[in-house]
Amino acid sequence: MWPRLFAKVRSPRGSLPCSRGTPGRCGRLTAQQNLSTGGPLRNDFFKELEQHLAGMRKKAAGALTGSSWGSLRGNPDLPPKRADVVIVGGGVMGWSIAYWLKQKEMVQGGLQIVVVERDLTYSKASTVLSAGGIRQQFSLPENIHLSLASADFIRNINEHLGVLGEDPVDLQFNHSGYLFLASEKAAHIMEQNYNTQRQAGAKVALLSPSQLKEKFPWVNTEDVALASHGLENEGWFDPWTLLNAFRRKAISMGVIQCCGEVTDFKYTINVMMTADGERLDVRRINHVKVQMPNSLEYQPVECALVVNAAGAFSGKLAEMLGIGLGSKGSIAGVPFPVEPRKRYVYVVHCPDGPGLDTPFLVDFSGVYFRREGLGGNYITGVSPEEGEEPDTGNLEVDHQFFEDKIWPRLAHRVPAFEKLKVASGWAGFYDYNTLDQNAIIGTHPLIGNMYFASGFSGHGLQHSPAAGRAVAELIVDGNFKTLDLRRLGFNRVLMEEPVLEKNIV
Amino acid sequence: MLKVLFPTIMLLPLTWLCPQKKLWSLTLLYSLMISFLSLLWLKMPLQTNWTHLNLYMATDHLSTPLLVLTCWLLPLMIIASQNHMSQEPINRQRTFILLLTSLQIFLILAFSATEMIMFYVMFEATLIPTLFIITRWGNQTERLNAGTYFLFYTLAGSLPLLVALLLLQNSVGTLSLLTLQFTNPLPLSSYADKIWWTGCLLAFLVKMPLYGTHLWLPKAHVEAPIAGSMILAAVLLKLGGYGMMRIMLMLEPLTKELSYPFIILALWGVIMTSSICLRQTDLKSLIAYSSVSHMGLVAAAILIQTPWSFTGALILMIAHGLTSSALFCLANTNYERTHSRTMVLARGLQMVLPIMTTWWFLASLANLALPPLPNLMGEIMIVTSLFNWSPWTLLLTGLGMLITAGYSLYMFLMTQRGPIPNHIISLNPTHTREHLLITLHLIPLLLLILKPELIWGWTA
């Protein structure tokens, strides 16, 4: 879309229709006129070649007499009738999996992949509403390894996601690091985590309160016992750019994008008996019913595999296959433990706030903030208490929440923030894993050919490159190869053995 | 002759009128009975070339094995299609079986034709049911493209054949195969006669297919439903070989020089298409290219026209027909379970379906020409006769056999061995029908080891 905007302005023919004296056409042309001031100075023939050719084809089709075959072709927006892998959910996780699957297919054109996304404006998607941070300061080694691998990926992103002939990817990765603060009672946990992180290869440094005050003089170190600062591979980046980079590269490799909603599955059921005599219905998905937006038209896509990357809504998708709808105590009765949880992010403006080297600060009360841009803006938020979860029916922002829960603690921690103004705010969903707030990657015992990759609970964006690679390895190689994520499989949900992550923001 | 043809024709009203519940079982049993009747043709006294002779049709050593193969294939196609057709409305099911049966009729008439024009008309007539089967019951949108390629490649090749046959009729006076062999050799010296020679052969070379004109085959095989793939691979390709063997009588002495480019193309095609097989991700596409590879050997053998090469070509045609059809059926069992033809998504099947692995193993071994199977008999005779014709062909044929072994084993190991992906753990167990289907392919192949004289052609 962007090149066409620029092209329209520079073409000299743009002024001719106006001079023909047809006011309607003139009016339409000014409406199309681009108001952007940053256009390219020259016509790039090769960049606009695609548009020229498409325009020529359209003109030719219009010039020739209408063909009766035209109406028989049907809706071109429908997904293909069959595909090898259908990825439900076009967020960063879905597109990452699509990219890695194409990367790992051994021959060009080996796997036919369709990514189904119901809202291409991504108005409710967790990816683009994320704060965009990446950190290795987790307590679970798997999470640390996932973040390290993803950081390595996004540092070399143009090697991976660069497309020939297109602009290079610029994620605006600010390497400022995360700064976690710990109180007296939690300091020993921070030390344990520090050891785990160092062992896993993360570059983290522990700071005493005086060292902290020296490094970041704007922090109030009153009740801080220990601080942990990530020195490398930590910071924040632009999630929208990463999503589009994955999407552009995957589409250039042949993945088909479909705008539609998965409403149902067609599956066959195999009835099996366990050794204890319990009856199990193992389902095998044959078709995915994709419904077109604002329409009753749907297309059953015949597929071999389905990947559930639907994020906050993956629990609903799993319910379509009967997960969680069985009797209590049976395997089918265990629901997929991912549900959407609303989180607010507020943009505040504070001209006297901390400077450029501000890390992503996370206080022990849960309040976090980070610098946004170069104009004295910061984004801040906090995870609500367990009992005070906001309603997930909409994405409305509650500004009272900022006044009550965030501002006091923020001002306590950074005195400069006593004078700030809330510029705006937004809300997004965490795909919250109610069991242990960690990802669920793998298959479900009762569904033969569905892979899950959700439940990241707020750290999906930063894990997306490595998690996408892990799922692609599961599918193509049969097992995890680079990172062993077997502990993050579905079995722990069935056994009710949570693999807890102690450092959830 | 008529004892097989009339029942096959009467299968058409049966298909349309029988009760719905009994459609598949009745047609299956009826076509099995027809195929057992067709076994009577195998009694071929050597002294008279033509047996079961009537005014228009006859069988001889060349056409009998192909006729029996054709009749054998109809029940197999019905068994293979039963599962995926069960979801369709009853009239479409009837139409499908009707198309298969009409294809059978045309093929019987083609192989038993004593007159070249009748052969030509039946050759063209087989295109129509096949086109319907590919375009109506194929799985993907590319099937329209595949049907177009299939139809127009074959038509473009065979229209010159019509003209050439009519010219032949004008100059010789007859096109009856019984008398053509006794005519004087034609004085073929002018440039136009060279074009006539090409016109006679082009249709069959496109059908075989020869390497340069083979583009229709992978598309048609991949997009066709299982019954379409089976009949295409097993019999329709052999129509080209059979036609070439028949028409070669009349093409001397030009063949001595003009056949060179086609022999080279055929042998080069063996190597090229086998190498392409090593890079395929789609299982059916792999088997389709392997068909082109084997038929390249057959084409080269027919073009050098020695008794051994004809024998080898005929044996390889029959053996390849059974093997290729068996491989397509195996690929279809995979497809019906995983809904994907991509090899990388369905691996390690030995752990899940072990008996099916045995059939995969036997079919892959047959494909790579393991002794004592007739595939090897055919290939050895072809390679030896080509070597006798020119020692340099050994490089090409030897390399071709090596790469054939390579991709056959690659196909076997890729689908059967290795770790099972997580999404194939619960598959439907193999139905008895599928076991029956594959064994009905492999048992004739194994029995032919014991009496290969049946498919040797005229060589005693």
Residues B116-148 have pLDDT tens digits of 999 999 999 999 999 999 999 987 777 888 898
Which of B342, B421, B426 shows the shortest C-beta gap to A284? B426
The answer to whether the CB atoms of A304 and B342 lie below 8 A apart is: yes
The answer to whether the CB atoms of A302 and B348 lie below 8 A apart is: no
How would DSSP label each residue in B138-165? -SSTHHHHHHHHHHHHHHHHHHHHHHHH
User: How close A72 comes to chain B (CA, Å)?
Assistant: 13
Identify all chain A residues contacting B424, using CB atoms and an 8 Å cutoff: 448-449
The answer to whether the CB atoms of A304 and B340 lie below 8 A apart is: yes
Residue A60 near residue A67 (C-beta atoms within 8 A): no
Q: For A415-426, what is each residue's pLDDT tens digit?
A: 999 998 999 999
- What confidence score (pLDDT) does residue A73 get? 60
Residue in chain A lying closest to B334 (CA): A304
Find the chain A residues whose C-beta atoms sit closer than 8 A to any C-beta of B: 80-82, 84-85, 105-107, 109-112, 268, 270, 272, 282, 284, 286, 302-305, 442-443, 448-451, 474-479
DSSP state of B340: -
B425 touches chain A (CB under 8 A): yes
Q: For A90-112, what is each residue's pLDDT tens digit?
A: 999 999 999 999 999 877 778 89
* A15 pLDDT higher than 50: no
Q: Which residues pair with A262 in a beta bridge?
A: A290
Residue B21 lies in a domain: no
* A26 pLDDT higher than 70: no
Residue B149 lies in a domain: no
- Number of domains, chain B: 1
The answer to whether the CB atoms of A478 and B422 lie below 8 A apart is: yes
Q: Which residues pair with A450 in a beta bridge?
A: A306
- Altogether, the residues listed in chain A come to a count of 505
- What confidence score (pLDDT) does residue A22 get? 43
User: How close A34 comes to chain B (CA, Å)?
Assistant: 40
Identify all chain A residues contacting B338, using CB atoms and an 8 Å cutoff: 304, 449
Residue B142 lies in a domain: no
Identify all chain B residues contacting A84, using CB atoms and an 8 Å cutoff: 340, 342, 345
Note if the bond before B372 is cis, omega within 30 degrees. Answer: yes
Q: Which of B282, B457, B240, B270 is nearest to B369 (CA)?
A: B270
ipTM above 0.90, yes or no: no
- What confidence score (pLDDT) does residue B384 get? 96
Identify all chain B residues contacting A302, using CB atoms and an 8 Å cutoff: 339
Predicted TM-score (pTM) of the model is 0.82
Residue in chain A lying closest to B348 (CA): A478
- What confidence score (pLDDT) does residue A257 get? 95
The answer to whether the CB atoms of B423 and A82 lie below 8 A apart is: no
pLDDT bucket at A64, cuts 50 / 70 / 90: low
Residue A314 near residue A345 (C-beta atoms within 8 A): no
DSSP state of A415: G
User: How close A303 comes to chain B (CA, Å)?
Assistant: 6
Residue B58 lies in a domain: no
- What confidence score (pLDDT) does residue A389 get? 86
- What confidence score (pLDDT) does residue A32 get? 56
- What confidence score (pLDDT) does residue B185 get? 83
Domain range for B450: 262-459
pLDDT bucket at A332, cuts 50 / 70 / 90: confident
Residue A487 amino acid letter:
R
Cα(B408)–Cα(B403) distance, integer angstroms: 8
Question: How confident is the prediction for chain B on average, in pLDDT?
Answer: 92
The answer to whether the CB atoms of A111 and B346 lie below 8 A apart is: no
DSSP state of B440: H
Q: For A468-491, what is each residue's pLDDT tens digit?
A: 999 999 998 888 999 999 999 998
B431 touches chain A (CB under 8 A): no
| Structural tokens at position A476 | 């193509």
Q: For A257-274, what is each residue's pLDDT tens digit?
A: 999 999 999 998 888 888
User: How close A304 comes to chain B (CA, Å)?
Assistant: 5
The answer to whether the CB atoms of A478 and B419 lie below 8 A apart is: yes
- What confidence score (pLDDT) does residue B11 get? 96
Enumerate residue ranges in chain B where pLDDT < 70: 460
Residue B402 lies in a domain: yes
The distance from CA B224 to its chain's CA centroid, rounded to whole angstroms, is 14
- What confidence score (pLDDT) does residue A504 get? 66
Identify all chain B residues contacting A82, using CB atoms and an 8 Å cutoff: 139-140, 339
Q: For A349-389, what is each residue's pLDDT tens digit?
A: 998 888 888 999 999 888 999 999 888 899 999 988 888 88
The answer to whether the CB atoms of A107 and B426 lie below 8 A apart is: no
The answer to whether the CB atoms of B420 and A303 lie below 8 A apart is: no
Q: Which of B257, B256, B223 is nearest to B328 (CA)?
A: B223
Residue B237 lies in a domain: no
Q: For B166-186, what is each residue's pLDDT tens digit?
A: 999 998 888 998 888 888 888
Identify all chain A residues contacting B275, using CB atoms and an 8 Å cutoff: none
The answer to whether the CB atoms of A478 and B346 lie below 8 A apart is: no
Cβ neighbours of residue B54 closer than 8 Å, sequence gap 6 or more: B1, B2
Q: For A423-446, what is each residue's pLDDT tens digit?
A: 999 999 999 999 888 999 999 988
Cα four-point dihedral sign B29, B34, B37, B43: negative
User: How close B137 comes to chain A (CA, Å)?
Assistant: 14
The answer to whether the CB atoms of A303 and B339 lie below 8 A apart is: yes
Buried b (16+ CB within 10 A) or exposed e, B200-229: bbbbbbbbbbbbebbebbbbbbbbbbbbbb
